[in-house]
Amino acid sequence: MKALGLLSGGLDSSLAVKMVMDQGIEVVAVKFTSAFCQCDTGGCNHAAELAGKLGIEFVTVAKGQEYLDIVREPKYGRGSGMNPCLDCRIFMLRKAKEIAEDIGASFIFTGEVLGQRPMSQRRVAMDLVEKEAGLEGKLVRPLSAQLLPPTEAEREGWLDREQLLAISGRGRKPQIKLAEEKGIVDYPCPAGGCLLTTKEFSAKLADHLAHSDRLDAADVAVLKVGRHFRIDGLKVVIGRDERENARLRDLAKERFIVIEPTSVPGPTCLCDAAAGEDVIVKAASIVARYSDGGGGAVALKIVSSSGQRAVEAEPMANGEIDSLRIAADKAPLTIEME
């Protein structure tokens, strides 16, 4: 008997894997990654490490352009940020179903806990996701199983329902106690992980989608770096430190004009390649404001596909900068699904 478990590396999915293994079932773990993962919170590495410690097969699946198209236009709305959690879970479970068929796994399970998350872990949402993924009555949630109808795995006797649990709600105490019993330690913070749930990133993404029909990996890479501004409908990005400046230079390619100070230290700026002189002048003025020019004029170079030229710019006033900045409090409203 083999089962496929979705393993994020967080506490709940780690416990679910251990619970299924403890019933004598061979587990293969799958971890989905995307351009919106904040892997420095440890989830990605932790999932691989845990799988290694448990001696189980571990597969990673990158959610590519197909997923970005869903993020751009989710069927079931978004959470409190730009997170399309229902569509995201449907997407992952559909992929998991394909993998399960390929490897001959008899069932799929997740670490979901009934009522833990406002959008995706309400009963009605869990049922919807299961149905849309083509897994009706077949998806096991070991941590909440006793609060849900028996799945095929329980009805067929592959899993002993009595050994599954009845955890619900947002509290973590039962899971922490169970982790101690099962020897699971060093799990990452449950809040870490998805940029789509953060306010600052959601504001940038909402602005991007309000101005563009395209969302690809290069767009997301730029959205993850720097201060973002919108000038006459065009995007301007300013690096916040040397690491971001270097990253922006890497990302410029043919989509952006690069503006950098030459007379004093200061930020790298990407300005939409479609920008006319009016926008370039304003972007240069923002660069001057964030440069170490002591409030005076700053010499800059402007590099585009047509070559390089030198200009001088006066720093933009703070009030005007604020009016052009893409900020969380200016983001279009998103749908909160409760």
Give CA–CA dist 105/274, Å, rounded. 51
Q: Containing H/E element for 135? A: none
Q: Name the one range near ligand SF4 by CB under 6 A: 54-62, 85-93, 107-115, 135-143.
A: 85-93
Q: In which element (H, E) is residue 59 found?
A: strand 57-63
Binds ligand SF4 by CB under 6 A, chosen from 72, 89, 230, 235: 89
- Torsion sign (Cα): 118, 119, 124, 125: negative
In the sheet with 2-6, reading across from the earlier edge strand, the strands are 57-63, 26-34, 2-6, 107-109, 139-140
Shortest approach of ligand SF4 to residue 216 CB, angstroms?
18
Residues 6+ apart with CB under 8 A from 336: 78, 79, 80, 118, 119
- Label residue 125 exposed, middle or buried (CB < 10 Å: 0-12, 13-18, 19+): buried
Looking at this protein, which amino acid is placed at residue 290? Y
CB of residue 159 to ligand SF4, shortest distance in Å: 24
Q: Does 88 bind ligand SF4 (CB under 6 A)?
A: yes
At residue 280, φ and ψ (nearest 5 deg) are -60, -40
70 binds ligand SF4 (CB under 6 A): no
b/e per residue, 238-253, with b = 16+ CB within 10 A? bbeeeebbebbeebbe
Nearer to ligand SF4, 188 or 293 (CB): 188
Residues within window 158-217 making contact with ligand SF4, judged by CB under 6 A: 194, 196-197
Q: Name the minimum Å distance from CB 83 to ligand SF4.
A: 4
- E strand segments, 86-171: 107-109, 139-140
Q: How far is the CB of 314 from ligand SF4 (least distance, A)?
A: 42
We find the least distance from the C-beta atom of residue 194 to ligand SF4, in angstroms, to be 3
Residue corresponding to tokens 């949630």: 141
Number of residues that bind ligand SF4 (CB under 6 A): 9
In the complex, minimum distance from the CB of residue 197 to ligand SF4, in angstroms, rounded to a whole number: 5
Give the nearest distance from C-beta 95 to ligand SF4 in angstroms. 13
Q: Which of 14, 110, 120, 168 binds ligand SF4 (CB under 6 A)?
A: 120
Comparison of 120 and 175: residue with beta carbon closer to ligand SF4: 120
Helix, strand, coil distribution of the chain in percent, nearest 5:
40, 20, 40
Nearer to ligand SF4, 113 or 196 (CB): 196
For residue 148, what are its two tokens? 């849900």
Stretch that binds ligand SF4, among 39-47, 79-87, 126-134, 316-324 (CB under 6 A): 79-87
Give 110 or 285: the residue with its C-beta nearer to ligand SF4: 110
Span from 9-17, 81-89, 147-155, 312-320 in contact with ligand SF4 (CB under 6 A)? 81-89
For residue 27, what are the β-bridge partners? 3
Closer CB to ligand SF4, residue 46 or residue 89?
Answer: 89
Q: What is the CA radius of gyration of the chain?
A: 24
Q: Which is nearer to ligand SF4, 20 or 85 (CB)?
A: 85
Cβ nearer to ligand SF4, comparing 193 with 261: 193
Nearer to ligand SF4, 144 or 268 (CB): 144
Q: Which residues bind ligand SF4 (CB under 6 A)?
A: 83-85, 88-89, 120, 194, 196-197
